[in-house]
């Protein structure tokens, strides 16, 4: 149904909003007897950059781990609550690797596989069954271009990815995540080991990627959240204190004064 024109009356039909890409309901996480996150509920919408800020040990990384079932790697991690990705509970996926094809992850430190630059990016497509070299060439070039790395490495694709600089390796990690064609991209402190110039280049990449996918970005750099995030959540000692439009939070339009205190650097 087409959307009503701006001057249509209040009873005019309109297109219903798209359902959230991600819905989290009453999510709690424990490591043994230690609580990491308590009763978090939030939703993330299509083509949104959703920022998560907060001091260390606030549960931000633990939150990301649950979204594509990385908690399976930690036997002492206990998760309660519901996480729906594209309307389906993530724990209903029998094949967790199929889930992870739709949810890409970029970790704080670049994790270059001991493979060539080309093979780093081509690995996921090959695992999906893509064997045609011409098709792989297209995928590799597209992903490296989207990660702002193609022009720097196009003449040495057979070189080891681990020999790239730190900033290049982080962009290679992004290219590898993009090779999955994810609907959701998770970023955990992607710029922690990257110089400021490269950080700005990656931020420009993320602004473009927003047109194609949804992004959840954990960052300790509050100004990075201000530059990139449409909405931002503030986590503190395991609680989601507040969620709001990023501009509003940075203008002091907060429900909890601790949010603005953190943004202003009064603690953290």
Q: Quick: pLDDT tens for 58-117.
A: 999 999 999 999 888 888 999 999 999 999 999 998 888 889 889 999 988 777 678 999
The encoded tokens of residue 215 equal 């992004």
Q: Which helix (H) or strand (E) holds 202?
A: helix 196-209
Question: From CA 224, how far away is CA 246, in angstroms rounded?
Answer: 11
The encoded tokens of residue 168 equal 């290049």
Residue 15: predicted pLDDT: 52
Question: From CA 43, how far away is CA 85, in angstroms rounded?
Answer: 10
Could you read off the pLDDT of 162-221 as tens digits, one per residue?
999 888 998 999 999 999 889 999 999 988 878 888 889 889 989 999 999 999 999 999
Written out in words, the top-level CATH class of the domain with range 22-263 is alpha beta
- Residue identified by tokens 């991600």 is 22
CB count, 10 Å around CB of 70?
18
Q: How confident is the model at residue 17 (pLDDT cuts 50, 70, 90)?
A: low
CB-based contact 225:51 (threshold 8 Å): yes
**Domains of the chain, residue spans:** 22-263
Question: From CA 25, how far away is CA 11, in angstroms rounded?
Answer: 32
Question: From CA 47, how far away is CA 69, in angstroms rounded?
Answer: 22
User: What are the residues whose beta carbons fall under 8 Å from the beta carbon of 129, sequence distance 6 or more?
Assistant: none
Residue 112: predicted pLDDT: 67
CB count, 10 Å around CB of 86?
15
| Predicted model pTM | 0.88
């Amino acid at each position: 149904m087409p959307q009503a024109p701006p001057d249509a009356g209040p009873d005019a039909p309109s297109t219903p909003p798209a359902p959230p890409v991600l819905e989290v309901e009453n999510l709690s996480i424990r490591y043994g007897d230690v609580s990491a996150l308590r009763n978090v509920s939030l939703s993330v919408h299509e083509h949104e950059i959703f920022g998560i800020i907060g001091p260390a040990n606030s549960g931000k990384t633990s939150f990301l781990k649950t979204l594509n079932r990385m908690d399976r790697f930690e036997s002492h991690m206990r998760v309660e609550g519901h996480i729906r990705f594209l309307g389906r509970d993530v724990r209903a996926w029998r094949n967790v690797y199929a889930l992870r094809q739709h949810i890409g992850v970029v970790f704080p430190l670049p994790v270059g596989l001991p493979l060539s630059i080309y093979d780093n990016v081509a690995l996921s497509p090959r695992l999906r069954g893509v064997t045609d070299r011409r098709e792989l060439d297209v995928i590799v070039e597209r992903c490296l271009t989207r990660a702002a790395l193609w022009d720097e490495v196009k003449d040495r694709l057979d070189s080891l990815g681990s020999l790239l600089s730190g900033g290049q390796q982080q962009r290679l990690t992004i290219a590898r995540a993009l090779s999955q064609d994810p609907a959701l991209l998770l970023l955990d402190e992607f710029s922690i080991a990257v110089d400021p110039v490269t950080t700005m280049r990656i931020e420009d990449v993320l602004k473009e990627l927003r047109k194609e996918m949804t992004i959840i970005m954990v960052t300790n750099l509050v100004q990075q959240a201000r530059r990139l995030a449409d909405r931002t959540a503030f986590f503190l000692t395991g609680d989601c204190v507040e969620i709001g439009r990023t501009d509003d939070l940075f203008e002091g339009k907060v429900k909890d004064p601790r949010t603005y205190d953190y943004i202003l650097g009064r603690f953290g």
